[in-house]
Structures are given as structure tokens and as C-alpha cells.
Structure 1
Amino acid sequence: MATVRNVYLFAKTAVFKVRAINVPRRTVSQVTHKHFRSAVGCGSVAKLVGLYNSYSTGRRPPSSTSSSSVGLADELLAAKVQPDPRVADDGDPDSDKDKEEKEKVNRTLKWTFISFGVMITGMGSFLLWSCGSPEVGPDGNPIIDEFSEMPVIQQYLLRTWKGMNDMNRMIQEPSRDKLLPDPVKPPYIQPPYTLVLELRDVLVHPEWTYETGWRFKKRPGVDFLLHHCGPPLFEIVIYTNEQGFTAFPIIDHLDPNGLIWYRLYKDTTRYVNGKHVKDLSCLNRDLEKVICIDWDTDAVSSPRNHLKLKRWDGNMNDQSLVELGLMLRTIAESEVSDVREVIDYYRTFDDPLAAFRENQRLAQEQELAVKQRVEEEHQQKKFTSSIISSFFRRN
């Protein structure tokens, strides 16, 4: 009896294993109990063990004369090996729906490429027609140029190529050869020196806050710099990489008194290696009298005329422009013949303003020492003269 109970437990375990292969629960239960009762009725323990092994391993049970045993194995095998519904009858792994989607994608790509081809062809034809056609004179007749004797297609291609080169040169080169007008002649006043100032991070600093959005902060000491370095010592020029529509109202706000004589914007810079460079040789001024103030070393074409200033980050306690004004005024009042020699000296320091401040301190100490020595000599001479005069009076 204990052996039969153990075999029953084995058969029950096989039922759970058979359920794991998605055989309907009712079918497995009916078939299993039928075969179990048959095996128990026959009193065959070996048959029960074979039934358990066939259920647990998925193998076909041993052949038997009983038709129920053969039917059970066939049912289990048919339930375990189910055909894949995703595979079509003809053996193609792609379903009809996938084929339709692929065909739709292919049609979309095809028409997309066709549309791009038509658009590019149309744009190229319009470019050749607009840029390659000869110029027309006031009388309506075409103007003869160096391409007029060539075939028509070659004419249009070469004129288009020339127009593209002219456009590229217009972007890279300054908008005009002379950025400033010629110096004025007497009786008008022409300052002897030219001061070129960058706007961004030298005079103002852009800042964004939730309350105000984007705004430009005015650097402390701007008014002092303009008043102490303005005419008649310097003609002040704003030369910035900003666009004109951005910089123009800012300069109006900084200089209500008109101390800034000229304004130059991004279109007057030279585009070199991906950067807009200030070409001082186009200023129409003697470079021996030009001082350019900027924080970017690569933004000035003439390093000898560039006096580098530290980039302002918006600190309202900064006093660099006050020191700069004193330094520039000292240079102008000293009537330096070539400012580049002075800039060459101060360019050797990381902070030119600190170096100038130290030189001013040393100069004041030397001046004070000279004044004291002169006073001492004067007192000594006075004492000597008083002794001599008293000696002659006694005699």
C-alpha cells in the first residue's frame, strides 16, 4: 500500500510538470487519473513508474497494448509541440502585416529622396539663373564682362562661382577699407591718440535673472574713464564683436554726452579661423598712437597695440577702469611718441594695472625723496648764508 501511495505522489507531481507545458488542466487531469486507475487496477507498479517518467521528462511512454496509453502520449506530444502562429504557411518568417509596413516605409523613403532631389535641383537652377545671368544696364541690354565670349552654360557657372566667392569675401573681410574717416585738420581739434575699447566684459557685462531677464550691467568707473580719457587727449572708438542693433542702444545709454566719437560693430571685423578679429590696420590711424583695450588676446590683429585687461564678471566693487583711466591719461600727458613701446613693457606683466600702480607708488616715493632732498639742501644753504651774513655784520 505504501508503494502505491508513493507512485501516486509521483504521478501527481507529473501532473504539475505537464501543466507547465500549457496542456489544458482538465485534459491532463482526466487523462492522468484514467491511466492511474488503470495502473492501480492492474497492480503494476512498473507501469506507474513509467507513466511518471513519461510525464516528467516529456518522452513518449513505453508502448503498451492499452490504447489509452498511446493516446495519452500523442495528446501530450501534440500539446507540447505547437506550431508558431507567426510563421506563415509558405515558410516566410514575415507576416503580411510586416510586409505591408516595409513596403510603406520603402515608398516613404523613395518619395522623400525624390522630393529632396527635386528641391535641390530647383534651388540649384534658381541659383544659376539669378547669379549666373549677366548684369543689365540702364538701357536694358546685358553688360559685357569677361565671361560673355564663353558658352552659355560655362558663363552661368563661372558667374555663379564668382558671386559665391564675393559673398564669402564679404563675410570674412571688413565691410570697408577705411573704418574711420580721415583725421580732421585745424581749426578743428584732432586728438593725438586713439583709444579703442571693447564693449562686452570691458564696459558692460550681460546678466540674466528671473526678475529682469537679460540685461547689461554697467561697470563701475565707465564715466570716469570717458571723462578723463576723452577729447582732447584721445578720440574714443567702440570696436566690438557685437551686432549693431544690440550695441547701439547700450552705447547711447553709456555715453549721453557724446564722448565716444565712433562706433564699429561685427561687420567691420575680419573673420579668421572661426573668430572675428579687430583689424587695427583698417582704422585709418597711425598705429604708433593707437591703444586697444580688450580682454581677449586673439581678438586683436596687432598685439603691440593691445593692452590686455582682465575680463569683468559683473563684480560691482571693481575699480579697474579708474586705474585704467589714470594710466591712459598719464601716457597721453607724457606725450609718448610711440605707445607700443609702453604697451610692450606692460605686456610682460600678468596684471598691467597692478604693475602701473606699483610704478606710480615708486615714482611718488622717488619724487617725495627728491623733494625732501631739495628742501634739505635749501635749508642747508639758508643756514650757511645766515652764518656768513652774521659773521660779516660782527666784523
Structure 2
Amino acid sequence: MSSILLRSRLVSLVSKRSRRLLSSDVASNPPKEPLIAAETIVSNRTPPPPPPPPPSAPASSASARKPWNFLKYSLIGALTGATASVAYVSYAYSLDEIDERTKTLRTALTINETPDDAPALDKFISMLYCAAISVPAKAAEAYLDARRAIEDQVRGYTEPYAEKLLPDLHPLEKHVYTLVLDLQETLLYSYWTREKGWQTIKRPGVDAFLEHLAQYYEIIVFSDYSNMYVDPVMERLDPKHCVRYRLGKAATKYQDGVHYRDLSKLNRDPKKIIYLSAHARENSLQPENGAVIKPYKSELDDTALVDFIPFLEFVARNPPADIRQVLASYEGHEIPAEFIRRSKEHQRKMQEQKQHGRLWRR
């Protein structure tokens, strides 16, 4: 009996304890709300209204753009064609040829004049004709004027600054020969280094060469350097002023990337011009007047200028009718050495003739 009562009490105590534990858990941890999927939330909300469609351009504005686009592309095409035509004409024809070909078109406006007593129909036709040709005629005149101005501007950089680069010779000096000298690698050698900059070395024998030949020749220096360089260099190179005239880059003719010496612009007789240069065949428009000298590259034992003195003095003392024929006879030879050989040969023949004359007299 007692055991039964003890069991019943234990069961009641355990049941009470479990109730207290359950009641404390519920109070401390309130029940959570059930989770709902995101798709369910989105579907339950009211969807926003769709954005309004962009305002459609009226059909009338699209149709209005077509003529403007056509006009724009037509103008672009016309300008492109006109530019291509002008470029081709400028490349294919000279200014004189274009002037000759368009002369009829440009004079048609003045030729086609209707008298005052002409019928009204003739006046109307003449007015239409003048209106039709006035635009191309004026365009041709504008093209010719523009091309003349451009060619004159370009000619100032490519042609010598004057038709006569030198003044007339004095009447008492008409017989004097003209000796034209190049500067670079002929009278001096200029080079540039990073350490010292530009260096100019005078060729050995320059002083004696200029001073001696100034007695026989009109000496001219013709260089493709600017006069801002030539003048101060010549002041130091030629303190005795043996050189009469100095011509620089502005006096040359620029063609195919080369500054050519045009000896025909010197206002001198071409039969009496000698052009002494290390590049007489390459930078002269009259190579038949050229006498080639060995290029100077700052060698200390160079004697090329002094070696040329006997030949040049002989030409001045015994002037030929045309120096170009004499220079042509030295083609392929070094002039100083060949002149010495010919002189010795001439002396040998003269000695033989003298001996032959003596034997004949005996």
C-alpha cells in the first residue's frame, strides 16, 4: 500500500515538473512565423504598370527627312566629284593647256551679245544660254586665278629668285672666264658631332688657290646652304675677298629633292663657265660645264685644289672657243693628272719636232 502511494506521488511530481519546463520554453521562445517563399510574396503583390511606349514619330516627319537626306548626299557627291575632277585636271594638264582649252568657254559670255533690235525670242534664248554657261565659265576663271597664285607661291621656293643672278660683266671683262666653286666637300668640309656640334674644316690650299686664280677668273661661290651660313663662313674662308659673288640656296632650283645649280641663270656666256665641284655631275643642270674634283673629307694630306691650279691657269691664259668641249675631252679622267700627262706628251712632241728640224737643216 505504501509502495503504491509512493509511486503516485512520484508521477505527480514528474508531471508538474514537465509542465513548468514547457511553460517556460513557450514564454521565452515565442512561436516563429512560418517562412514563405519569395515567389509567393512576389505573386501576391500587385505588379506595377508597364512603362508607356515611346512616342512614335509621325509618318510625316520621316517622309520630310528623305528629301533633306537626298539633298545632303547629292551635295557631298557633287563636291567629291568636283574635287576629284580638279585634282585630275591639275595633274594631267599644265596651266597654259587649261587656259587654251577653256578660252572659248570664258569668252562665250562676251561674244554672245544680242543686239537691242533682236526679236524677243532671240533675246530669251540668249539669256538662257548666258545663264547656262556663266557658272562653268566663272568656275574656270576662278580655277585659273587660284592655280596661278599657288604656282607663283611654289615657284618662289623651287625656282631661283631672279632670272639673272649676277649683274652684267663690265665691257672690259667680256673675255674673262667665270669659275664657279661649290662649298661643301670642295672648299671645306662641315660635319656635326654630339660633343662639339657643327665643325667646319678648311681644305688645304684654299688660300693659295683663291688668291692665285683671282688674277685670271671671276670667282663665284654657289652653294645649296642658306646665305645665313654662307656669308659668315666665306668671311673667314676668304679674308682677302677673292670671291666676287656668293650665291646660296635661294638661287638654286629645287627639283626631285635636290638643289640644282642652274648655270644658265648666271647671266654669263655658257662657253666661258667652269663649275668646279665634288658633285659637278649630280647637282648641276649643265653637267657639260662641270669639272669634278676629289671630295674633301678632312684629309690632312689633301692637295686636290693645288693640283687644279695648272689646268685652270692654262685655260685662262689660252682660252678655248668653248670650254665645254675641252671638259668633254677629259671625261673619265682626273683632270689634273690627265693635264700633266698631256703637257708632258706635248713637250715631248715639241722636242722631237725641234730635233727633227735641226737634223733636216744639217
Preserved CA contact (<8 Å) 2:204 2:300: yes
| 2:243 corresponding residue in structure 1 | 260
2:162 corresponds to which of 173, 176, 189 = 176
- How many pairs were matched up? 229
Q: Distance in 1 between matches of 2:158 and 2:143?
A: 23
Q: Which amino acid aligns with 2:267?
A: N
Q: 1:212, CA displacement in angstroms?
A: 4.2
Preserved CA contact (<8 Å) 1:307 1:347: no
Map 1:1-395; keep pairs closer than 5 Å. 159-186=145-172, 189=173, 192-208=176-192, 212-231=196-215, 233-296=216-279, 297-349=281-333, 351-367=334-350, 373=355, 377=358
Q: 1:256, CA displacement in angstroms?
A: 1.1
Q: Identity across aligned pairs (percent)?
A: 30
Q: 1:323, CA displacement in angstroms?
A: 1.2
Q: Which runs of 5+ in 2 are unaligned?
A: 1-105, 111-133
Q: Which amino acid aligns with 2:254?
A: Y
* Secondary structure of residue in 1 paired with 2:201: strand
* Secondary structure of residue in 1 paired with 2:250: helix
Runs of 4+ aligned residues of structure 1 deviating over 3 Å after TM superposition are: 149-162, 207-213, 363-371
* Secondary structure of residue in 2 paired with 1:259: coil
Q: Distance in 2 between matches of 1:209 and 1:275?
A: 24
Q: Distance in 2 between matches of 1:310 and 1:368?
A: 33
Deviations 1:216-270 (A, max 9, x none): 1110111222122113x21001011111111111111111111101111111111
Q: 1:158, CA displacement in angstroms?
A: 5.9
Preserved CA contact (<8 Å) 2:230 2:246: no
Q: 1:365, CA displacement in angstroms?
A: 3.9
The structure-2 alpha-carbon separation of the partners of 1:207 and 1:370, relative to structure 1 and needing over 3 Å to count, comes to farther
Preserved CA contact (<8 Å) 1:237 1:264: yes
Q: Which runs of 5+ in 1 are unaligned?
A: 1-145, 385-395
Q: Distance in 1 between matches of 2:330 and 2:151?
A: 42
Q: 1:153, CA displacement in angstroms?
A: 9.2
Q: Which amino acid aligns with 1:197?
A: L
* Bigger CA radius of gyration: 2
Q: Which amino acid aligns with 2:166?
A: L
Deviations 1:37-67 (A, max 9, x none): xxxxxxxxxxxxxxxxxxxxxxxxxxxxxxx
Q: 1:335, CA displacement in angstroms?
A: 2.2
Q: Distance in 2 between matches of 1:335 and 1:348?
A: 22
Preserved CA contact (<8 Å) 2:182 2:277: yes
Q: Which has the higher contact order (CA 8 A, sep 6+)?
A: 2
* Secondary structure of residue in 1 paired with 2:332: coil
The structure-2 alpha-carbon separation of the partners of 1:215 and 1:273, relative to structure 1 and needing over 3 Å to count, comes to same
Preserved CA contact (<8 Å) 2:252 2:260: yes
Preserved CA contact (<8 Å) 2:260 2:285: yes
Deviations 1:194-219 (A, max 9, x none): 00000110000013457643221110
Deviations 1:136-193 (A, max 9, x none): xxxxxxxxxx9xx98899987765443222111111111000011011124xx55610
The structure-2 alpha-carbon separation of the partners of 1:164 and 1:285, relative to structure 1 and needing over 3 Å to count, comes to same
- Cα RMSD (Å) of the superposition? 3.1
Preserved CA contact (<8 Å) 1:239 1:265: yes
Q: Which amino acid aligns with 1:204?
A: L
| 1:129 corresponding residue in structure 2 | none
Preserved CA contact (<8 Å) 1:197 1:294: yes
Preserved CA contact (<8 Å) 1:197 1:293: yes
* Secondary structure of residue in 2 paired with 1:298: coil
The structure-2 alpha-carbon separation of the partners of 1:153 and 1:321, relative to structure 1 and needing over 3 Å to count, comes to same
* Secondary structure of residue in 2 paired with 1:285: coil
* Secondary structure of residue in 2 paired with 1:215: strand
Preserved CA contact (<8 Å) 1:324 1:353: yes
* Secondary structure of residue in 2 paired with 1:167: helix
Q: Which amino acid aligns with 1:323?
A: D
Q: TM-score, normalised by structure 2?
A: 0.57
| 1:67 corresponding residue in structure 2 | none
